[in-house]
Amino acid sequence: MRNPQLTRNGELQHLLTIDGLPREILTAILEAATPFTVVAEREVKKLPLLRGKSVFNLFFENSTRTRTTFEIAAKRLSADVINLNINTSSTSKGETLLDTVDNLCAMQADMFVVRHASSGAPFLIAQHLAAMGLEHIHVINAGDGRHAHPTQGLLDMYTIRHYKQRFDNLVVAIVGDLLHSRVARSQIHALTTLGVPEVRVIGPKTLLPADISQLGVRVFHDMRAGLKDVDVVMMLRLQNERMKGALLPSPQEFFKSYGLTAEKLHCARPDAIVMHPGPMNRGVEIDSAVADGPHAVILPQVTFGIAVRMAVMSMLAGA
Ligand code: CP
């Protein structure tokens, strides 16, 4: 079966998930992002690559970083950006997701950036557009349920490559609530596709999917053992809004065992970098001394997100 995110020629049609994307495409996005960093950092104001295109941001779930950096990225590519305010849209009157999409298509949309609490919502939109013969409209998944957050995974890879130069000699640990994390799934698929030889996941049994080792990762329940000699530590937020029932004794107990402190970080390599997709829960999954310390690259992740999102949007637009 053809990968639904690729055209018949193997080019990127939509960005729905990193799972199944060829390494060449991931590498091409990272390469394409590099020159955009001068625009992301405001050395160059704007580029005309998306001039005349309309990008609709459809965020059915809250966001600070993703929604804002997509908007900045689209504007710096000279697109017209429309942020649909879901709370004041006709969704609150019962309009379906696909009816909303049809109406925005009638307003000559060229690209949808979609965040939704339901896994598969961006895929559903992409399928619908194909059925309607609207293949020229592109869909970017900005985070769907527990499923995927591909641009977060890509900006994380960009950050790792920026600080470590290569992937094929790294040990990377992802720590915390992997069970509910779409970010972790995208990170694992990206890291393994790009050739990272050892990807570790660290967390309590209640917050790790039972079959996670099938994704090619090593499982650790002891944080100090899992962090031993790692090059990259990727922390995750406790996704309380997606937890059903009591999966943890308390946030304080979680912090004691799995919170990243300077003392636990000593187990990693001396030049290890510390990442977090945000939003952070200080004192729950990460101590402020680490979040604001010399190993943290958490704010550069956000800045790189602009360049990576510019790269994705311009590739989709064929620019
Ligand atoms: N990392 C991330 O997705 O953050 P937001 O929820 O603020 O977009």
How confident is the model over 205-249, as pLDDT tens digits?
Answer: 999 999 999 999 999 999 999 999 999 999 999 987 766 666 777
Give the Å distance between the CA of 120 and the centre of ligand 1. Answer: 18
Does the C-beta of 4 come closer than 6 Å to ligand 1? no
Which pLDDT does position 270 carry in this prediction? 98
**Is 10 part of a structural domain of the chain?**
no
Give the Å distance between the CA of 242 and the centre of ligand 1. Answer: 15
Identify whether residues 120 and 160 lie together within a single domain.
no
**Is 155 part of a structural domain of the chain?**
yes
Which pLDDT does position 319 carry in this prediction? 78
Task: Report the alpha-carbon distance of residue 187 to residue 107 in Å, rounded.
Answer: 35
Is the per-residue pLDDT at 91 higher than 70? yes
Is the per-residue pLDDT at 1 higher than 70? no
Which pLDDT does position 4 carry in this prediction? 84
Quick one: which H or E segment has residue 93?
Answer: none
Identify whether residues 214 and 99 lie together within a single domain.
no
Which pLDDT does position 134 carry in this prediction? 96
Residue pair 22/194 in contact by the 8 Å Cβ criterion = no
Peptide bond into 122 cis (omega under 30): no
Residue nearest to atom 6 of ligand 1 (CA): 63
**Is 1 part of a structural domain of the chain?**
no
Identify whether residues 166 and 111 lie together within a single domain.
no
Is the per-residue pLDDT at 259 higher than 80? yes
Q: What is the mean pLDDT of residues 59-82?
A: 97
**Is 37 part of a structural domain of the chain?**
yes
Percent of the chain with pLDDT over 90: 87
Q: What is the mean pLDDT of residues 38-61?
A: 89
Is the per-residue pLDDT at 100 higher than 80? yes
Residue nearest to atom 1 of ligand 1 (CA): 277
Pairing of strands 171-175, 232-235: parallel
Is the per-residue pLDDT at 113 higher than 70? yes
* 88 band by pLDDT with thresholds 50, 70 and 90: confident
Q: What is the mean pLDDT of residues 240-263?
A: 84
* Range(s) of the domain holding residue 251: 150-297
Does the C-beta of 27 come closer than 6 Å to ligand 1? no
Does the C-beta of 143 come closer than 6 Å to ligand 1? yes
Which stretch of 183-192, 194-203, 239-248, 269-278 has the lowest confidence by average pLDDT? 239-248
**Is 255 part of a structural domain of the chain?**
yes
Is the per-residue pLDDT at 251 higher than 90? no
Q: What is the mean pLDDT of residues 51-61?
A: 97
Task: Report the alpha-carbon distance of residue 108 to residue 53 in Å, rounded.
Answer: 9
Quick one: which H or E segment has residue 205?
Answer: none
Does the C-beta of 64 come closer than 6 Å to ligand 1? yes
Which stretch of 79-93, 161-175, 302-316 has the lowest confidence by average pLDDT? 79-93
List the end-to-end C-alpha distance of the chain, in Å, as a whole number: 27
Which ligand 1 atom sits nearest the alpha carbon of residue 142? 3
- Torsions phi, psi of 252, nearest 5? -65, -40
Identify whether residues 181 and 267 lie together within a single domain.
yes
Identify whether residues 144 and 213 lie together within a single domain.
no
Structure tokens at 24: 């060449």
Which pLDDT does position 282 carry in this prediction? 97
Does the C-beta of 66 come closer than 6 Å to ligand 1? yes
Which pLDDT does position 240 carry in this prediction? 76
Which residue of 60, 152, 186 sits with most ligand 1 atoms within 8 Å of its CB, as the best mutation to test the pocket? 152
pLDDT digits (tens, 9 = 90+) for 119-156: 999 999 999 999 999 999 999 999 999 999 999 999 99
Does the C-beta of 277 come closer than 6 Å to ligand 1? yes
Q: What is the mean pLDDT of residues 56-74?
A: 97
**Is 13 part of a structural domain of the chain?**
no
Give the Å distance between the CA of 56 and the centre of ligand 1. Answer: 18
Identify whether residues 274 and 293 lie together within a single domain.
yes
Identify whether residues 156 and 248 lie together within a single domain.
yes
Does the C-beta of 153 come closer than 6 Å to ligand 1? no
Does the C-beta of 206 come closer than 6 Å to ligand 1? no
pLDDT digits (tens, 9 = 90+) for 273-315: 999 999 999 999 999 999 999 999 999 999 999 999 999 999 9
**Is 184 part of a structural domain of the chain?**
yes
Write the CATH number for 30: 3.40.50.1370
Which pLDDT does position 246 carry in this prediction? 63
Which pLDDT does position 35 carry in this prediction? 93
Residue nearest to atom 4 of ligand 1 (CA): 65
Which residue of 61, 66, 70, 149 sits with most ligand 1 atoms within 8 Å of its CB, as the best mutation to test the pocket? 66
Identify whether residues 276 and 163 lie together within a single domain.
yes
Identify whether residues 158 and 267 lie together within a single domain.
yes
Does the C-beta of 63 come closer than 6 Å to ligand 1? yes
Give the Å distance between the CA of 87 and the centre of ligand 1. Answer: 18
The pTM of this model reads: 0.95
**Is 5 part of a structural domain of the chain?**
no
Identify whether residues 219 and 158 lie together within a single domain.
yes
Identify whether residues 41 and 141 lie together within a single domain.
yes
Identify whether residues 131 and 162 lie together within a single domain.
no
Which ligand 1 atom sits nearest the alpha carbon of residue 278? 1
Is the per-residue pLDDT at 79 higher than 70? yes
Angstrom CA distances, 147 to 116, 152, 178, 243, 316, stand at: 10, 13, 11, 15, 21
**Average pLDDT of the chain?**
95
Q: What is the mean pLDDT of residues 74-78?
A: 97
Count of domains observed in the chain: 2
